[in-house]
Amino acid sequence: MKDLIKKLVEAWGPSGYEHGVRELIRQEVTPFADDVRVDPLGNLICRVGSGGKKIMIAAHMDEIGVMALFTEPTSGYLRFAPIGGVLQTSLLGMRVRFENGVTGVIGAHDYFGAGRTTASEIDNFFIDVSTGEGNAIEAGTPAIFWRTMEERGSRLIAKSMDDRIGCVVAIETMRRLNKQTPNELYFVFTVQEEVGLRGARAAAYGVDPDIGIALDVTSTGDMIKNQKMEVKLGGGAAIKIHDTGHVVPPAIRDWMVNRAQTDGIPHQFELLTIGTTDAAGIQVARAGVPSGAISIPCRFVHTTSETVDINDVDACVKLLTGLVGNSVNL
């Protein structure tokens, strides 16, 4: 599973430009799906089984990034806009990578002055992509934040764990099911989650599921002076109770909790006060879809050092496999 994680987290794919990641995932899932297609928005939709409950499982392929806006005529530096929830406090000195392989470095005005103690406005940052012979990037070109994956014991550290690790949970579940399920499952690898849950909304309208499940990362409450929440790294699969865009129906919550208890899967409860997931989009499709979420605990979300524990990832795979691999009575 680690090789798959490394492959996906190091892939290039900001919101709206998920084509490369989609192809990598397609290669992984095709042997384990009865049908694979791409919808008009770019979501990869994989059907497994037929009959029983129709369950949509969503994990988003996109990652945050930046879009080059304008080239300064004298210096050649690029001005840029964020793609998704970029943290300005993490930008200075950050490396970005464009699809053609060019690596840029983000600088800021006066970062040894006022910038040393104050987070600058986005307009104060720029990207250096100089080659010594000019500027290699045109305005209108997207980029991702760049860093390779590292390991520290059971901890994996990388950019875009949000939400390639959710994609890994979905892929590994498909592999373990090996097309054996009493339900009709739709594993949907969604686009443009970071800019407004756009892919999940469209896919849920098309799939028209009975139940929705989102797979995504969540913050942890085990850091010094961090937000107070029950989730901790290494504590197992996080079963969502609510977040800012989604209140999980009690029947869905109990279904997940009972399965975790029956199968002896380490689990904890997620009550998130910042952010939401694809489940918030799925739940309001058509006449409404009862939806829940299985979350992977993650430290340093929306940085290039997003950190997960491989044991939590495995717990999430076991929980999802148990949920969708058995008959559902809801």
53: how many CB neighbours lie within 10 A of its CB?
17
Are 271 and 229 spatial neighbours (Cβ–Cβ below 8 Å)? yes
- Strand 237-243 to 184-190 pairing: unpaired
Pairwise CA distance, residues 174 & 271, whole Å = 28
Q: Is 193 a catalytic residue?
A: yes
Question: What is the Cα–Cα distance from 309 to 5, expressed in whole angstroms?
Answer: 12
**Residue tagged active-site, from 28, 172, 193, 270:** 193
Alpha helices in the chain (DSSP H): 2-9, 19-29, 161-177, 198-207, 250-263, 278-282, 310-324
Start-to-end CA distance of the chain, whole Å, equals 32
Q: How far is CA 87 from CA 66, 162, 254, in A?
A: 11, 14, 35
The catalytic residue positions are 193
